[in-house]
Amino acid sequence: MRRIVSNISTQSHEFKENQADMARVLNEFRQLQQKARYTRPERDMQRLNKQKKLFVRDRLELLLDPGTPFLEFSSLAAHYAYEGTVPGAAVVTGIGLVSGREVMVIAGDASVKGGAWYPLTVKKMVRALDIAIENRLPVIHICDSAGGFLPLQSGVFPDRFAAGRIFRNQVQLSKMNIPQIAIVCGHCTAGGAYVPALSDYNIIVRGTGAIFLGGPPLVKAATGEVVTVEALGGCDMHTTTSGTADYPADNEPQAFAIARDIAAQFRKPKKQVIETAPVEAPYYDPEELYGIIPMDRKTQYDVREVIARIVDGSRFHEYQPAYGKTLVCGYAHIWGYKVGILGNNGVLFNDSAKKAAHFIQLCNQNKTPLVFLQNITGYMVGRTYEEEGITKDGAKMLMAQGGSVVPKFTVIIGGSFGAGNYGMCGRAWDARVLFMWPKAEIGVMGAEQAANTLVDIKTRQMQKEGITLSEKDIEAIRTPIMESYERDLSAYYSTSELWDDGILDPADTRNALGMSIACSLNAQIDDQSYGVFRF
């Protein structure tokens, strides 16, 4: 495989400007992430301390194999929700290694509102369990939650992907023979009690862990019975009397050590075999991405420069290099795993869409996972293209992509607009994971375009009512719309709403993809099959 020849000059003014801009953006991103991870009100930390409970991040370090990576999902979930008072949606999820096994970790963050479940908490947990199901990953639940956040119960409780889905997914995992461990470090009340109960193995920490369908106050209210937490659902009761919990632990570190021991008993998954090659670091420094990604999202740049900084040895076998050039397709290796990459280099035309459909089929046939690098404003519009059947060519691409049996991975590296988001395997299309870069944007159309369209409508309405608007009036309407749109388009908004699995530092993309691909191979790849292509 040939090495991509980069045309980037790291000494150029443009590069340095881009780099400085990215430094600013990344700095902001890291600060936000740091804050979401570690900054807590003093009294919450004191409370944990008083309860002899560990901070969720420390729990993770006790659980995970030392010196191994952890791919955290959606660290900025709920960033814009609940006035920003629920960092990370009060739960930490991610893939890590425990006793050498790839596992999904779902850890309630009791330092945020006692670990109460907000609607986005539940969404994040359900998503993590979906990832576990899709990738057949054992799950380790670290339970420490005050329970559903009552004022928002309607967002937590009833819907298909609300809290019930957590337990439903647990059952599916069990049915699929994918083990789960629950470590009960705090209270598991009401529905939450089912998290340990539906786990194959559970550990409960003496003195702090408790499991009950109704806690002492509720019991008192319902039946008048007065009972202590320990007697109602404490460690010793459940491990000796009810059998609802399996392993008593004297303290949290011991509980995590037990969990590690349990995980060591898990059968190792039989991995789907795909093509691999010896691992090679990218020839070009991934940090050069900072200077490659333009300051202005609308400035076009060559996606090959991105590929060169993600793949092994910066080597890339480009498929149909002369055809449908607005979509770059080809094979490469990431951490040794062979992948088929589709990266946008402009608007999707008929030929680019057909090229995509063809290349996706090839990858399905030879069981090569797909990586989509989205930087797309959509499919080409206009008479020529409609006459050529842009819709049905786009539909071919969707049919091939939506019908794929190989795992798909999406990184939104720039814009993700219109049907391009769909064609390039957006959220609705079941990418195993979907990440965004900090400057990425996602929406039906760009903010400016949307704002203009809306202002047009408003102006026409006013005109109908006989009012003519001055430039200033129009600006006054436009500006707030623009601002609100820009927010809604931003990666931060997307990640807040869990439309993605998290924002990535571009230089982290290689590792994130490497881990995601490795995990995806726990599920066997079916034989290929498609729907009907509209030819």
Partner 1 sequence: MQKIKKVLIANRGEIALRILRTLKAAGIPGVVMYHRVDRGAPAVREAEETYLIEGETPVAAYLDIENILAACRTTGANAVHPGYGFLAENAPFAKALAEADVIFIGPTADVIELMGDKVSARKFVEARGFPVAPSAIEEDDPATFVERVAKVGFPVLIKPAAGGGGKGMRVVYDGANLAEEVERGRREGERYFADGRLFAERFIENPRHIEVQVFGDQHGNYVHFWERECSIQRRFQKIIEETPSPALSPEQRQEICTAAVGIAEAVGYQGAGTVEFIYAPTGEFYFLEMNTRLQVEHPVTEMVTGYDLVYEQLRVAAGEALNYTQADITQTGHSIECRICAEDADADFAPAIGKLLKVREPVGPGIRVDSGVIEGQDVTTAFDPMLSKLIVYARDRQQCITRTQQALRDYVLLGVTTNTAYLDKILSHSDFISGDVHTGFLAEQADVLKQNLSQDTLDFLLSAAALTDEQLCNAVAEIPELYAAMGHWRN
Partner 2 sequence: MQRIRSAIRTQSESYLANKAHNEKVFTAFRERQERARYVRPERELARLARQGKMTGRQRVEMLLDPGTPFLEFSSLAACEDYDGEIPGANVISGIGIVSGREVVIHADDNSMKGGAWYPRSTQKIIRALDIAIENRLPVIHICDSAGGYLEDMAGVFVKGGRVFRNQCILSKMNIPQVAIVCGNCTAGGAYIPGLCDYAIIVRGMGAVFLGGPPLVKAATGEEVTVEALGGADMHTSISGTVDYPVDSEEQGIAMAREIVGQFRQPTKAYHPQATEAPYYDPEELFGILPSDIKVQFDMREVIARIVDGSRFHEYQPAYGKTLVCGYAHIWGYKVGILGNNGVLFNDSSLKAAHFISLCNQNGTPLVFLQNTTGYMIGREYEEKGITKDGAKMLMAQAGSEVPKFTVLTNSSFGAGYYGMCGRAWDPRFLWCWPNAEMGVMGAEQAARTLGDVKLAQLKRANPDVSEEEVAVLRQRVKEKAERETSAYFATSRMWDDGILMPTDTRNALAIALSVAANAPLANPSYGVFRM
Partner 3 sequence: MKREFVIGSESYDVLLNKALGEYHLDVGDRQLAIQAEEIGSGEYFIYVDGRKQRAFVAVDDENTYIHMEGKAVTIQRIDPFEKIMGGDGADGSGSSLLAPMPGTVISVNCEPGQQVSEGDVLMVIESMKLETTVAAPREGIVEQVNFSAGDTFDQKALLVSLQAEEE
When CB distances are held under 5 to 8 angstroms depending on the partner's kind, the choice from partner 1, partner 2, partner 3, none that residue 514 binds is partner 1
Element spanning 106, H or E:
strand 101-108
Contact between 69 and partner 3 by CB under 8 A: the answer reads no
Rounded Cα gap, residues 443 and 377, in angstroms? 9
Q: Rounded to a whole number, what is the distance in angstroms from the first to the last CA of the chain?
A: 33
Q: Which of positions 153-212 make contact with partner 3 (CB under 8 A)?
A: 206
Element spanning 338, H or E:
strand 337-344
When CB distances are held under 5 to 8 angstroms depending on the partner's kind, the choice from partner 3, partner 1, partner 2, none that residue 236 binds is partner 3
CB of 246 to partner 2, least distance (A): 9
Measured from the CB atom, the residue of 150 and 279 that comes closer to partner 3 is 279
Contact between 247 and partner 3 by CB under 8 A: the answer reads yes
Q: Which of positions 133-152 make contact with partner 2 (CB under 8 A)?
A: 148, 150-151
Q: Which of positions 313-342 make contact with partner 2 (CB under 8 A)?
A: none
Measured from the CB atom, the residue of 76 and 303 that comes closer to partner 1 is 76
**Binding test (CB under 8 A) with partner 2, winner from 12, 46, 68, 223:** 223
**Binding test (CB under 8 A) with partner 1, winner from 67, 224, 243, 466:** 67
For the chain, what is the largest distance between any 2 Cα atoms, rounded to a whole number of angstroms? 80
Q: Which of positions 478-517 make contact with partner 1 (CB under 8 A)?
A: 502, 504-505, 508, 511-512, 514-515
According to DSSP, residue 199 is labeled S
- The answer for residues whose C-beta is within 8 angstroms of residue 163's C-beta and 6 or more apart is 117, 122, 148, 156, 157, 191
According to DSSP, residue 211 is labeled E
Contact between 297 and partner 3 by CB under 8 A: the answer reads no
Measured from the CB atom, the residue of 15 and 161 that comes closer to partner 2 is 161
**Binding test (CB under 8 A) with partner 3, winner from 67, 217, 243, 382:** 67
CB of 431 to partner 2, least distance (A): 11
Binding mask 274-293 for partner 3 (x = CB under 8 A): -----x--------------
Radius of gyration of the CA atoms of the chain, in A: 25
When CB distances are held under 5 to 8 angstroms depending on the partner's kind, the choice from partner 1, partner 3, partner 2, none that residue 239 binds is partner 3
Pairing of strands 327-334, 337-344: antiparallel
Q: Between 350-365 and 390-402, two packed helices, what is the crossing angle to 10 degrees?
A: 20
When CB distances are held under 5 to 8 angstroms depending on the partner's kind, the choice from partner 2, partner 1, partner 3, none that residue 513 binds is none
CB of 102 to partner 1, least distance (A): 8
Q: Which of positions 335-374 make contact with partner 1 (CB under 8 A)?
A: 335-336
Contact between 272 and partner 1 by CB under 8 A: the answer reads no
Measured from the CB atom, the residue of 230 and 483 that comes closer to partner 3 is 230
As given in the structure block, the two tokens for residue 327 are 């979509």
When CB distances are held under 5 to 8 angstroms depending on the partner's kind, the choice from partner 2, partner 1, partner 3, none that residue 247 binds is partner 3
CB of 100 to partner 3, least distance (A): 9
When CB distances are held under 5 to 8 angstroms depending on the partner's kind, the choice from partner 3, partner 2, partner 1, none that residue 390 binds is partner 2
When CB distances are held under 5 to 8 angstroms depending on the partner's kind, the choice from partner 3, partner 2, partner 1, none that residue 163 binds is partner 2
DSSP 3-state percent helix, strand, coil across the chain (nearest 5): 45, 20, 35
CB of 384 to partner 2, least distance (A): 9
Rounded Cα gap, residues 89 and 36, in angstroms? 9
Q: Which of positions 337-396 make contact with partner 2 (CB under 8 A)?
A: 378-383, 385-392, 394-395
Binding mask 429-468 for partner 2 (x = CB under 8 A): xx-----------xxxx---xx--xx--------------
Element spanning 187, H or E:
strand 187-189
Angle CA 138–498–368, to nearest 5: 55
Closest alpha carbon to 59 in 207, 260, 218, 341: 260
Contact between 256 and partner 3 by CB under 8 A: the answer reads yes
Rounded Cα gap, residues 467 and 126, in angstroms? 50
Measured from the CB atom, the residue of 103 and 370 that comes closer to partner 3 is 103
Element spanning 400, H or E:
helix 390-402
Closest alpha carbon to 4 in 276, 282, 280: 282
**Please, are residues 394 and 378 in contact by the beta-carbon 8 Å criterion?**
no
When CB distances are held under 5 to 8 angstroms depending on the partner's kind, the choice from partner 2, partner 1, partner 3, none that residue 17 binds is none
Contact between 35 and partner 1 by CB under 8 A: the answer reads no
**b/e sequence 515-524, b meaning 16+ C-beta within 10 Å:** bbbbbbbbbe
Contact between 356 and partner 3 by CB under 8 A: the answer reads no
As given in the structure block, the two tokens for residue 396 are 């071919």
Q: Which of positions 234-253 make contact with partner 2 (CB under 8 A)?
A: 237-238, 241-244
Rounded Cα gap, residues 59 and 37, in angstroms? 13
As given in the structure block, the two tokens for residue 335 are 């951490």
Q: Which stretch binds partner 3 (CB under 8 A): 107-115, 179-187, 241-249, 322-330?
A: 241-249
Helices marked H in 366-442 — which ranges?
383-387, 390-402, 419-423
According to DSSP, residue 276 is labeled B
Rounded Cα gap, residues 377 and 420, in angstroms? 6
- Any idea of the CA torsion for 432, 259, 511, 300, to the nearest 10 degrees? 40
Which positions lie near partner 1, rule CB under 8 A? Answer: 65-72, 75, 97, 99-102, 264, 279, 335-336, 502, 504-505, 508, 511-512, 514-515, 518
Which positions lie near partner 3, rule CB under 8 A? Answer: 62, 65-68, 206, 235-236, 239-240, 247-250, 253-254, 256-258, 260-261, 279
